[in-house]
């Protein structure tokens, strides 16, 4: 049922480009220890090599501690993308499960899930996450994943609930039910595959919101703590040298913008493909 | 009218639940405003307890909640130990600044976004559409605070076109004539509001372009063209009124995120609104003020969203009743 959607997405040139950029970022993160020319925490010469503009040896320049910015951005990708992908997976799984529960679990389950979604979707997520992290002390990256992912399931739940309710009365579901399929079987074998493209859209959008969220948290000093590098705290290090060292700001900003942009494009193209299919039906 | 009442009640219910849950969460928070001053080993035992009792920090959580929510109904939000004044006073100072920042950014960003989308729809699939499409994608992909940093680096710090921090110039600004003070304020507002406006414009433009292209196939558009209307007139008078409602509703959904972005922008540009208040309060462990800041930013988001929903419904095309 869903396979043609993926084929069509694969044939879309814009989507392929975006997927390639995202894939390259993920590969860079995975292979950072081998790709990075230096140790990201190495301070070779804090006097002579301090705040060096980009050169052949240091393509992204060096920071105030003479650390290589390229190596820090690559290692930062590990942390930033790792937290982002983890939080995205958590929020999408949680959202899909709770959305499905609301759609097929009866009136009370629906009221409970929808009520929670209704209230908390109105809160500025960034404000809440910052307040929580700052109040309860700085957290390890794992806890950041839990907190960011745990606060992001609302939109997925809403969309999955709506899609499930849209699919449930259709003939193929009725047929499965008539054949005696259990509720679990219907969810796993029929409903979930049918709405998988829509879940993928929310996953891409979740990635596009979670990357800036982690960057923002680390940027205000409540997220990833030094010496561990993340895109957000490289920026934080750079804010003291805005007038003198542009390379400390530009490269992490570019990293965030490129990954977020390709996730957005991917979501956009997938949505267009889904809309095309629904029109064709 | 009944839907309006229902909507206001809904918004009020959201704020109540949010206030309660934030209060409950903060009960588990470590430390209080006295911790740094009175919990040292050089303070005689009992002194800390005495001061906590004086400010009501020794009461059980249930009683504190009843007192706090009772005071809230009367417009009191407690006492801010880090600022030595009432929380309500801090909020009345900071809130208008945040509303000014977000309001100016919303108006400019929305108008610019509509204009960009009109140009894109007018020149669909030609170079103006493509160039603006790439720019708006960049505007959505780059989080506000990153754009803020770039704007600060170049427009502020390097080229010195705009001030990078604060509300007003240094010196005896208070003695300046009113209009000079207003211009000074706007000049300081330029970077933070401009950055937010760019983000909003990019989001609005992308939604509005899609919505415009969606209605351009409709029969009434063909009719308008057949009447001999120019393409701009068709877009402005026929396509836009029918395509703008969903965009406003979508903007309403995005508002909580925009308020979150504004909080960071305030921090970067030292704009002393609710966002900066929140950061100061967090660092000082001034929980009544944290509570108020979270609650107030939520209320701004909820109110703005309720307004957006109302406007979207009001703008939605109405069909004449079939007789």
* Contact assessment for residue B294 and residue B278, using Cβ atoms and an 8 Å cutoff: yes
Complete DSSP assignment for B49-93: HHHHHHTTTTS-HHHHHHHHHHHHHTT---EETTTTEEHHHHHHH
> For helices B274-284 and B87-122, what crossing angle results, to 10°?
130
User: Backbone phi, then psi, for B320, in 5-degree steps?
Assistant: -65, 140
Of A122, A215, A238, the CB nearest to B256: A122
**H or E segment to which residue A172 belongs:** helix A171-178
| Helix (DSSP H) and strand (DSSP E) numbers for chain B | 13, 2
Whether residue A77 is predicted with pLDDT greater than 90 in this model: the reply is: yes
Counting residues of chain B whose pLDDT is more than 70, the rounded percentage is 95
Cα distances (Å, whole numbers) of residue A16 to A4, A20, A208, B259:
16, 6, 17, 33
- Residue B299: closest CA among chain A residues belongs to which residue? A123
- Band (B321; pLDDT cuts 50, 70, 90): low
What are the chain A neighbours of B298 within 8 Å (beta carbons)? 122-124, 127
Contact criterion met (CB < 8 Å) for A219 and B290: no
> For helices B178-215 and B144-151, what crossing angle results, to 10°?
130
Please tell me which residue, A135 or A179, carries the higher pLDDT value: A179
B residues 61-100 closer than 8 Å to A (CB): none
Cα distances (Å, whole numbers) of residue B232 to B132, B210, B247:
18, 17, 20
ipTM: 0.86
Contact criterion met (CB < 8 Å) for A130 and B282: yes
| Superfamily the domain A3-7+64-280 falls into | MetI-like (1.10.3720.10)
Contact criterion met (CB < 8 Å) for A249 and B140: no
Both tokens of A266, joined, read: 């991917």
Of A124, A238, A261, the CB nearest to B297: A124
Contact criterion met (CB < 8 Å) for B150 and A208: no
Contact criterion met (CB < 8 Å) for A121 and B17: no
- Taking the Cβ of residue B146 and every Cβ of chain A, the question of whether any pair is shorter than 8 Å is answered with yes
Q: What is the mean pLDDT of residues A137-154?
A: 88
Count Cβ–Cβ pairs < 8 Å, chain A vs chain B: 126
Q: What is the mean pLDDT of residues A97-108?
A: 91
Both tokens of B148, joined, read: 């803020």
Rounded to whole angstroms, the Cα distance separating A101 from A77 reads 35
Name the minimum distance, in Å, from the CA of B17 to any CA of chain A.
7
Whether residue A53 is predicted with pLDDT greater than 60 in this model: the reply is: yes
Comparing C-alpha atoms, which of A84, A82, A79, A58 is closest to residue A69?
A58
- Taking the Cβ of residue B194 and every Cβ of chain A, the question of whether any pair is shorter than 8 Å is answered with no
Comparing C-alpha atoms, which of A260, A207, A155, A200 is closest to residue A9?
A200
Model-level pTM?
Answer: 0.88
Residue A234: DSSP 8-state: H
**CA pseudo-torsion sign A79, A80, A86, A87:** positive
What are the chain A neighbours of B26 within 8 Å (beta carbons)? 135
pLDDT digits (tens, 9 = 90+) for B214-272: 888 888 889 888 988 888 988 898 888 888 888 888 888 888 888 888 999 999 999 99
* Contact assessment for residue A157 and residue A117, using Cβ atoms and an 8 Å cutoff: yes
* Contact assessment for residue B169 and residue B82, using Cβ atoms and an 8 Å cutoff: no
B residues 225-284 closer than 8 Å to A (CB): 256-257, 259-261, 263-264, 267, 275, 278-279, 282-283
Rounded to whole angstroms, the Cα distance separating A84 from A80 reads 6
Name the minimum distance, in Å, from the CA of A179 to any CA of chain B.
41
Cis peptide before B110 (omega within 30 of 0): no
* Contact assessment for residue B222 and residue B211, using Cβ atoms and an 8 Å cutoff: no
* Contact assessment for residue B181 and residue B173, using Cβ atoms and an 8 Å cutoff: yes
Q: Show Cβ contacts of residue B246 under 8 Å, excluding neighbours closer than 6 positions.
A: B207, B211, B312
Of A131, A212, A253, the CB nearest to B149: A253
pLDDT digits (tens, 9 = 90+) for A157-207: 999 999 999 888 888 888 988 898 888 888 888 899 889 999 999 999 999
Contact criterion met (CB < 8 Å) for B141 and A118: no
A residues 46-75 closer than 8 Å to B (CB): none
Of B140, B146, B298, the CB nearest to A122: B298
Name the minimum distance, in Å, from the CA of A168 to any CA of chain B.
26
Residue A170: DSSP 8-state: S
Residue B320: DSSP 8-state: P
Query: Hey, what's the torsion of the CAs at A267, A271, A272, A278, to 10 degrees?
Result: 160
Rounded to whole angstroms, the Cα distance separating A87 from A143 reads 10
Comparing C-alpha atoms, which of A210, A207, A34, A208 is closest to residue A129?
A210
- Taking the Cβ of residue B168 and every Cβ of chain A, the question of whether any pair is shorter than 8 Å is answered with no
Contact criterion met (CB < 8 Å) for B263 and A131: no
């Amino acid at each position: 049922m869903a396979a043609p959607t993926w084929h069509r997405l694969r044939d879309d040139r814009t989507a392929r480009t975006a997927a390639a950029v995202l894939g390259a970022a993920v590969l860079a993160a995975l292979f950072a220890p081998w790709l990075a020319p230096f140790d990201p925490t190495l301070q070779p010469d804090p006097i002579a090599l301090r705040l060096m503009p980009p050169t052949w040896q240091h393509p992204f320049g060096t920071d105030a501690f003479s650390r290589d910015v390229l190596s820090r951005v690559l290692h930062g990708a590990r942390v930033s993308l790792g937290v982002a992908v983890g939080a995205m997976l958590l929020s999408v799984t949680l959202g899909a499960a709770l959305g499905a529960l609301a759609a097929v679990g009866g009136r009370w389950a629906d009221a409970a899930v929808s009520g929670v979604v209704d209230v908390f979707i109105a809160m500025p997520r960034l404000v809440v996450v910052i307040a929580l992290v700052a109040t309860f002390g700085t957290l390890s990256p794992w806890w950041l994943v839990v907190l960011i992912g745990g606060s992001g399931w609302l939109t997925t739940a809403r969309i999955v609930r709506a899609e499930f309710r849209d699919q449930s009365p259709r003939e193929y579901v009725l047929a499965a039910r008539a054949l005696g399929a259990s509720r679990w079987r219907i969810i796993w074998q029929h409903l979930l595959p049918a709405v998988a493209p829509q879940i993928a859209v929310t996953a891409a959008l979740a990635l596009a919101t979670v990357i800036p969220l982690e960057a923002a948290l680390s940027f205000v000093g409540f997220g990833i703590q030094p010496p561990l590098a993340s895109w957000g705290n490289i920026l934080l290090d750079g804010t003291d040298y805005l007038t003198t060292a542009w390379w400390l700001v530009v490269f992490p900003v570019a990293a965030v913008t490129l990954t977020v942009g390709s996730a957005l494009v991917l979501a956009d193209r997938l949505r267009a493909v889904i809309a095309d299919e629904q029109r064709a039906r | 009218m009944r839907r309006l009442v229902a909507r206001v009640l809904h918004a009020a219910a959201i704020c109540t639940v949010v206030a309660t849950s934030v209060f409950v969460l903060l009960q588990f928070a470590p430390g209080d405003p006295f911790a740094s001053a009175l919990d040292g080993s050089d303070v005689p035992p009992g002194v800390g307890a005495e001061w906590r009792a004086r400010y009501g920090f020794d009461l059980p959580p249930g009683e504190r909640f009843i007192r706090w929510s009772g005071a809230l109904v009367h417009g009191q939000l407690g006492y801010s130990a880090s600022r030595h004044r009432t929380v309500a006073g801090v909020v009345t100072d900071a809130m208008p600044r945040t509303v000014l920042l977000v309001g100016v950014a919303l108006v400019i960003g929305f108008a610019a976004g509509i204009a960009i989308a009109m140009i894109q729809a007018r020149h669909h699939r030609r170079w103006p559409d493509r160039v603006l499409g790439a720019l708006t994608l960049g505007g959505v992909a780059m989080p506000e605070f990153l754009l803020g940093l770039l704007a600060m680096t170049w427009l502020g710090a390097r080229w010195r076109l705009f001030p990078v921090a604060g509300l007003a110039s240094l010196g005896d600004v208070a003695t300046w004539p009113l209009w000079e003070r207003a211009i000074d304020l706007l000049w300081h507002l330029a970077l933070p509001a401009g950055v937010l406006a760019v983000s909003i414009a990019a989001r609005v433009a992308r939604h509005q372009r899609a919505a415009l292209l969606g209605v351009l196939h409709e029969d009434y558009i063909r009719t308008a063209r057949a009447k001999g209307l120019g393409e701009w007139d068709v877009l402005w008078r026929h396509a836009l009124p029918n395509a703008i409602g969903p965009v406003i509703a979508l903007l309403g959904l995005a508002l909580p995120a925009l308020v979150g972005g504004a909080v960071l922008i305030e921090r970067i540009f030292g704009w002393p609104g609710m966002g900066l208040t929140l950061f100061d309060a967090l660092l000082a462990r001034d929980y009544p003020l944290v509570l108020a800041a979270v609650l107030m930013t939520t209320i701004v988001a909820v109110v703005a969203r309720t307004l957006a929903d109302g406007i979207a419904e009001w703008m939605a095309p109405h069909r004449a009743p079939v007789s």
